[in-house]
Structure 1
Amino acid sequence: MNTENQQFKLTFINYLIIGSLLFGMFFGAGNLIFPLHLGQLAGSHWLPAAIGFLLSGTLLPLLSIIAISITQSEGIYDVARPIGRHYALIFLILVHATLGPMFATPRTATVPFELGFARYIPANQTWIWLLVFSAAFFTLTYFLSRSESHIIDIIGKLLNPLFLILLFIIFLFAFLRPMGDAEQAVISTNYVHDALTNGFLEGYNTMDVLAGLAFGVTIVTSIKLMGVRSPRSIAAATAKSGIICIGFEALIYLGLIVIGAMSLANFKLSENGGIAFGQIANYYMSAVGSAILATLATVTCLSTAMGLVTAFAQDFHKQFPRISYLTFLRFTCAISFVIANVGLTQIISWSLPILMLLYPLAITVILLSILSPLFKKSPIVYRITTVFTLIPALFDATNALPPILKQTAPIQGLVHFASSYLPLFSLGFAWVPFALIGFILSIAAYALFRAPSMQLNPETSAKPK
């Protein structure tokens, strides 16, 4: 085994390629429009908002990759497994449904359509062209993702360089001829006092924490295809590549947030970052800017879509091996195509309550995985912390429901109860104090019951020697 590990030692170039793969899968058009819109919302308070966004949009995704490395896991199921097999399977399905055919993957088609094409199409014909565009988009995604061994070559060596060149052109114009002073930009009401926390919550929209857990299986598979076999070597390669990817992503986020704040000197606050990006591109390069924007959005979303559908198919094929990888791939591409034609606004609106539920659960399982060597991956710590996190997260999700549901009497009653009794509920962080309390109690329980004869999970109990 040692001879094999020495023979297939990765080079710095290999780490760059894997990091490029991660970057291509993480960074979609949504990652372009959300920080840009955040800059417009925060105005001159862009720095604290950026710190909050980077915490949830870059640091936590990096920690999710490190969690996979530390636990030597190959995906979502393995990371959540200490909580219980049934919970791990449900968590895997919910995360992949969110990242896959229900929300994130359909968004990879609707975002570039809205950014680059929708405004040039008559309103009564939009649905027809979205149907055509999304069909072509997911057909191409399927054919490019059929071979798992080609993922690195297609994303890391072809799409990423093209994306970076196009993004560099936008940045070059924006910083050489800034539209205004970001330090003098108007501040939106919610960002006058709570810029940091609102920036943190805005980072949820990237879905990158969930993606970090989901992409674990793709990254591990790609590293194995390079010839690495040792679990320790795979874990190290995953962590090093993740640092490269997330660090570069953070720099792009900062640039986009600043550009968004500067744009307020010429434009009003937009409804979303897609509109803002279109205005900025047209301001600097008119029709050429629109063409670059459309190409940029399509290219980066295509690479993200490939990562999402591949992770979905690989993870579910692993859990249900009787069904082939290609069958799951066809399924997620087909359902994503159908959901995409509902429209971007509806997709974003219905995804928010799901994110408010899943993000706290994902954050806690990531932190527990990183800390797991301290309590020997004891199920009791995982389970108590998760239960204490789940209850307030359900209330946070309820508060984020679309108006058609939130305005009903039962939901209003739940929101009123949570507002009265759950600390930090108004900020969207009711789960934080509960998770901390649960973790403290679980550590106390672990210290009390850690004797082999008193282990809660007999499968993990050590046998007397």
Structure 2
Amino acid sequence: MTNKKHMIIAGFMLFSLFFGAGNLIFPPTLGMESGNAFIPAITGFILSAVFLPLITIITVSLSKNGLLSIGERVHPLFGMIFAVIVYLSIGAFYGIPRAANVAFELGFEQILPVQGHMPLFLFSLIFFGLTFVICLNPKKAIDLVGQWLTPALLIVLAFLFIKAFFTYSYGEAPTSVKFQDSPFLTGFIEGYYTMDAIAALAFGIVIINGFRSKGMSKRSELVKGTIGAGSIAAVGLILVYVSLGWIGRVIPADQAVANGAELLVLASGQLFGPSGNLIFGAIVILACLTTCVGLINACAQFFQERFTALSYKGYVGVFTLIGLLFTNLGLNMILKIAGPLLSLIYPVAIVLVVLSLAQHFLGKSRRMFILSVGMTGAFSLYETFHSFNLVPKVLEQAVDWIPLSANGLEWTLPALLCAIIGFVWDHISGYRRTSEQWHG
């Protein structure tokens, strides 16, 4: 098999890893709410939901040890702690059980309506049993997902898109208050909350290790392959997001629709009748299954390389079991527990990725990382405490003066200023000329 074919299969797998249930339901909601402002809104969404994860994947490929090296540019201890938190939060304690719950609630229940807790338990046993089997052989997982599961997902989605294209028409539509003032920025924020930039930190090492298992060992080969796979995934995501957003934009909805999931269920029913629920359920289950496979694979590989007490298969079993247990807590409880943690780490992850990519063009500067990440971490702590209503009123009023605070992005300008100060400081002091000891 040629490197080009490996790259194409890896691109399909990367697409399916990113395209989880959250990514499925966000674009239709955006299309419905943006109305006549759909084009700038979906453009902003694509910028943060597609290109930011793509940049993250490329940054991981340029780093010696992936996420660990990226965090170590602040401090080795910070790098290890941050990597562990990222893998646990997007993996066993949040991403995996969330995907399994969504597969049950928006997938299985559309096919076979059930009630009570026992159906969730039985479904999760089968779901995680299948995930465990696929993940046991990491060398074959990338081929299985890339060659079979992703094409199956795309075929099912294509049925929905094609039917919608020939059924619905594009006309005038009201724009909700949320999108009236700044549809591009609002769309950007909507894509920001897909959390794919964090997921890319984990998925990057899955793709790289997949290439290595195929004999691609040179750094140039890995970077080129990752960029190619990431570009394929990005094109696929753009096509799917625009199509899903377009369905939300044009679907005639006589009844109130609360979210993207209900909107897609409505679209499936209108387009395919009673069989529509089967189609939508299949889409959700396939999307969630591929996401769980990628997350368990990534977590198991990371922990096996850093903490060798268990084998790769042992860690697959551990994370599968934890995912099974947390899934049965229910989706609402999972979101309640994990929400504050994600708001804490996501801005820091974005800053680390952007600075890591910038240093390949500007040169190394440790103070740039320390000051900018430190400032971002302070604002992330503020947001976390604010979510629990533990912030003094005077501090809240002060933060409200900072640009983009209304969108939860008040950390962006201070982080940029700190990065500039740190870089100039190192440049003036000559730190960059003696930074060989720094392994970033």
Structure 1 length-normalised TM:
0.88
Partner of 1:3: none
- 1:425 match: 405
> Partner residue of 2:129?
139
Contact 1:41–1:269 (CA under 8 A) maintained in structure 2: no
**CA RMSD, Structure 1 to Structure 2 (Å):** 2.3
Deviation at 1:414, TM superposition (A): 7.2
Q: Which runs of 5+ in 1 are unaligned?
A: 1-7
Partners of 1:49 and 1:196 within 8 A in 2: yes
1:191 equivalent in alignment to 2:179: yes
Q: Is residue 205 from structure 1 mapped to residue 185 from structure 2 by the alignment?
A: no
Matched AA of 2:75: G
Give the letter aligned to residue 55 of structure 2.
Answer: L
Q: Deviations over 1:27-81 (max 9, x none)?
A: 122211111122222222222221221111100000001112333x343112222
Q: Secondary structure at the match of 1:184?
A: coil
Change in Cα spacing, 1:450 to 1:193, as seen in structure 2 (3 Å) is same
Q: Is the 8 A contact 1:74 1:220 kept in 2?
A: no
CA contact (8 A) 2:426 2:432 kept: no
Read off the aligned partner of 1:88 and give its amino acid letter.
G
Give the deviation of 1:285 after TM superposition: 0.9
Alignment partner of 1:103 out of 73, 82, 94? 94
Supply the distance in 1 between the matched residues of 2:253 and 2:229 (Cα, whole angstroms). 39
Distance 2:242 2:423 in 1: 38
Residue 175 of structure 1 is matched in structure 2 by 165
Aligned partners of 1:82 and 1:377 also within 8 Å: no
Out of 67, 82, 85, the residue aligned to residue 94 of structure 1 is: 85
Superposition deviation, residue 168 in structure 1? 0.2
2: CA distance between counterparts of 1:45 and 1:158? 37
In structure 1, distance between residues paired with 2:335 and 2:342:
10
The answer for the alignment partner of 2:52 in structure 1 is 60
Instruction: Please state if 1:28 is matched with 2:8.
Output: no
Does the CA-based 8 Å contact 2:6-2:211 persist in structure 1?
no
- The residue that corresponds to 2:418 in the other structure is 438
CA distance in structure 2 between the partners assigned to 1:119 and 1:254 by the alignment: 24
Q: Does 1:448 align with 2:405?
A: no
CA distance 1:442–1:266, change in 2 (3 Å): same
* Residue 342 (structure 1) shift: 2.7
Give the aligned residue type for 1:459. Q
- Residues 54 and 250 in structure 1, CA contact (< 8 A), matched pair in contact too: yes
Question: How far apart are 1:346 and its partner, in Å?
Answer: 3.8
Deviates more, 1:342-351 or 1:280-289: 342-351
Q: 2:249 matched to which residue of 1?
A: 261
Q: Is the 8 A contact 1:395 1:415 kept in 2?
A: no
Whether the 8 Å contact between 1:360 and 1:393 is mirrored in structure 2 is yes
SS at match of 2:161: helix
CA drift at 1:19: 0.7
In the TM superposition, what is the alpha-carbon distance from 1:356 to its structure 2 partner?
2.9
Could you tell me which residue of structure 2 aligns to residue 244 of structure 1? Answer: 232
Alignment of 1:286-365 (within 5 A): 286-365=273-352
What is the percentage of aligned positions where both structures have the same residue? 30
Q: When the two structures are superposed, what TM-score results if normalisation uses the length of structure 2?
A: 0.93
Letter matched to residue 51 of structure 1: T
Secondary structure at 1:15's aligned position in 2?
A: helix
Alignment CA distance shift 1:249-1:80 (3 Å): same
Q: Secondary structure at the match of 1:117?
A: helix
User: Which residue of the partner structure matches residue 208 of structure 2?
Assistant: 220
CA change 1:108–1:414 in 2 (3 A) is farther
Q: Label 1:128 to 1:242 Cα distance change in 2 as closer, same or farther (>3 A).
A: same
Aligned residues: 439
CA contact (8 A) 1:115 1:297 kept: yes
Counterparts of 2:7 and 2:336 in 1: how far apart (Å)? Answer: 37
Query: Is the contact made by 2:110 and 2:281 (CA closer than 8 Å) also made in structure 1?
Result: no
Residue type of the partner of 2:202?
A: A
Letter in 2 for 1:297: V
What is the CA–CA distance in structure 1 between the aligned matches of 2:270 and 2:76, rounded to whole Å?
54
- Give the C-alpha shift of residue 194 in structure 1: 3.1
Give the counterpart of 1:41 among 12, 16, 33. Answer: 33
